[in-house]
Amino acid sequence: MNLSFLYENIHVLLPEAILFLGALAVVGADLLRPKDGDGRGLGALALLTVVAGLVGTAYIWGRPPATYLGGASLDGFALGVRVVVLTAAFFAVLLSMGYAPRITWQTGEYYALLLLATAGMSLLGATTELALLFVALETFSLALYVLTGIYRRNPRSAEASLKYFLLGGFASGFFVYGAALLYGAGGTTDLALLGQRLAAGEANTSLLWAGMALLLVGFGFKLSLVPFHMWTPDVYQGAPTPITAFMSVGTKTAALAGFIRVLGTALPAQQATWGWALAVLAVLTMTVGNLAALRQMSLKRMLAYSSIAHAGYILVALVPGTAQGTAAALFYLFAYGLMNIGAFAVVVALERTAENDVDQGGFRGMATLYPALAAAMAVFMFSLAGIPPLAGFFGKFLVFKAAVEGGWTWLAVLGVLNSAISAYYYLRITVAIYFDQAQAVPARNAWAGLNLGIALAALGTVLVGIYPSLWIALFQGLGG
């Protein structure tokens, strides 16, 4: 039997292969490490793997389009998703280096799961087939369920893990059911072929609509769109903070990538319908996310609601179903990755490990004690609020531009109004940091990786804002 087809075009999945092998290597190294070690070497190994994954992405960059086994393809979009996901993973490992040993003795499992989740997310960007899409979705979801609960001494962490697992499992159910119905409608799980058949009108329409609706719910859960967002604040608050930072960007990017693949490849003919559904979801998500964030005292909960609102902005870009919209969403996710992970990194620096959270009071007068940390946090907050010249501004600029070009000006209007509302809760943090009297500010956590992560994120947020061209050009080419 000739098995050469197994090797043909295997470079399509090179970054994922690196990540899987890296995860295995971490587990192996964990077995060999001395009992009294703190697992610092494992963090370095994980970091090395992520960097290797980025190098692998660069290596297959610009190669002609190809597919592996008909399920995964090498195209610009897949590369763009990898850039965002791997960047998020890079920062997550940096934040974890001093953190993981404090909350668990299973640091090997911690890093291995982190890498597996990354692999799943990055695979999701490349898949062009419904079954593999589900496999990728479950790969990173299962890893994240465990990571959410890995801080076992903290009851909130365990609760969050259970909640995430139950609701996530529920969402996966919706997803599989929807995928099955789409298969019933078109007779194939290949997205491109499905798209051709659906466009030709050969499909069973009632199965198609039902399948679309169920897929929407499934992705809605993963993306934490309102009204499927209930789990988000609890899970974000309970999960170990570096994992929350990773989830907030990685999960969003991966789920959105899958969403874009399904909508753009299999269902472009139905854009008139799902466009409106997405528009309604986007308005709900932005508004509810922002209004709820106004009332939070816990910083992690505030950032959770803020991340819901940001999912809404990103959704605005997808409504018209254009290549510009996709490119804008990728740029936004990249910018969001830098500033949001940066904000969580500051939480990591200030939280007491036992509490696994900081409330707004914990920032009071921080500027006098830790001026650099305070300045970085101010940069992240202004960027999240979309004030130029920071990365977040150009994210919003491109997203709303895509909406206006697609004829959805009213959606852009609601978007900017929401953005103006959101400024209030981001500013409140800067008020606490700079204007309030100093209290007993907790001694800050510091390790090289954390400091490096905060510095890189802040620098990136500023540089991407001042000269966004490079990144706009990068993602513009990847939208199609």
Partner 1 sequence: MSYLLSTIVFLPLVGAVLVLGVPGDRARKGVALGTTVLTFLVSLLLLVNWQDTPEMQFVERIAWLPDLGVDYYLGVDGISLWLVLLTTFLMPIAVGYSVLYVRENVGIYMALMLLMQTAITGVFLALDLVLFYVFWEFSLIPMYFLIGKWGSERRVYAALKFFLFTLAGSALMLVAILVLYFQAGTTDILALAERGLPNPVAQLAFVAFALGFAVKVPLFPLHTWLPDAHVQAPTAGSIILAGVLLKMGTYGFVRIALPLFPEAARGYAALISILALMGILYGALVALAQEDFKALVAYSSIAHLGFVMLGIFALTEQGIGGAVLQMVNHGLSTGALFLLVGLLYERRHTRQLRAFGGLWKSVPLYCFFLLVVAMSSVGLPGLNGFVGEFTILLGTYARWPLFAFLGTAGIILAAWYLLTAFRKVAQGPLTDPRNAAGVLPDLRRSEVALLVPLVVMFFLIGLFPNLFLDRITPSVAALQARWDDVQTVSVLQVER
- Show the DSSP H helices in 66-204 as ranges: 76-96, 100-103, 107-126, 130-148, 155-186, 191-199
Q: Is the Cβ of residue 111 or residue 400 nearer to partner 1 in the bound state? A: 400
Integer CA distances (angstroms), 138 to 133, 170, 288, in order: 9, 12, 28
Task: For the CB of residue 321, give the shortest distance to partner 1 in the complex, in Å.
Answer: 17
* Host H or E run for residue 54: helix 40-59
Q: Is the Cβ of residue 359 or residue 405 nearer to partner 1 in the bound state? A: 405
Task: For the CB of residue 221, give the shortest distance to partner 1 in the complex, in Å.
Answer: 31
Q: How many CA atoms lie within 13 A of 62 on its CB side?
A: 3
67 - beta bridge partners? 73
Which residues of the shown chain bind partner 1 in the complex (CB under 8 A)?
A: 382, 387-389, 393, 396-397, 400-401, 404-405, 409, 412-413, 416-417, 419-420, 423-424, 427, 430-431, 434-435, 467-469, 472-473, 476
Task: For the CB of residue 437, give the shortest distance to partner 1 in the complex, in Å.
Answer: 11
Integer CA distances (angstroms), 17 to 23, 47, 56, 129, in order: 10, 15, 9, 19
Q: Is the Cβ of residue 363 or residue 382 nearer to partner 1 in the bound state? A: 382
SS3 content of the chain, % helix, strand, coil (to 5): 75, 0, 20
**Under a CB-based contact definition with an 8 Å cutoff, are residues 57 and 79 in contact?**
yes
Task: For the CB of residue 473, give the shortest distance to partner 1 in the complex, in Å.
Answer: 5
**Under a CB-based contact definition with an 8 Å cutoff, are residues 45 and 75 in contact?**
no
Rg (CA), the chain: 21
Q: Is the Cβ of residue 119 or residue 286 nearer to partner 1 in the bound state? A: 286
Q: Is the Cβ of residue 234 or residue 405 nearer to partner 1 in the bound state? A: 405
Task: For the CB of residue 350, give the shortest distance to partner 1 in the complex, in Å.
Answer: 21
Q: What string of DSSP letters covers 396-458?
A: HHHHHHHHHHTT-HHHHHHHHHHHHHHHHHHHHHHIIIIISPP--PPPPP--HHHHHHHHHHH
Task: For the CB of residue 373, give the shortest distance to partner 1 in the complex, in Å.
Answer: 15
Q: What's the start-to-end Cα distance of the chain, in Å?
A: 38
Task: For the CB of residue 433, give the shortest distance to partner 1 in the complex, in Å.
Answer: 11
231 - beta bridge partners? none
Q: Is the Cβ of residue 27 or residue 474 nearer to partner 1 in the bound state? A: 474
- Map tokens 């909350």 to a residue: 103
Task: For the CB of residue 45, give the shortest distance to partner 1 in the complex, in Å.
Answer: 38
* Host H or E run for residue 468: none
Integer CA distances (angstroms), 206 to 203, 258, 262, 267, in order: 9, 23, 18, 14
Task: For the CB of residue 346, give the shortest distance to partner 1 in the complex, in Å.
Answer: 18
Q: Is the Cβ of residue 24 or residue 416 nearer to partner 1 in the bound state? A: 416
Q: Is the Cβ of residue 316 or residue 349 nearer to partner 1 in the bound state? A: 316
Task: For the CB of residue 387, give the shortest distance to partner 1 in the complex, in Å.
Answer: 6
Q: Is the Cβ of residue 172 or residue 476 nearer to partner 1 in the bound state? A: 476
Q: Is the Cβ of residue 77 or residue 393 nearer to partner 1 in the bound state? A: 393
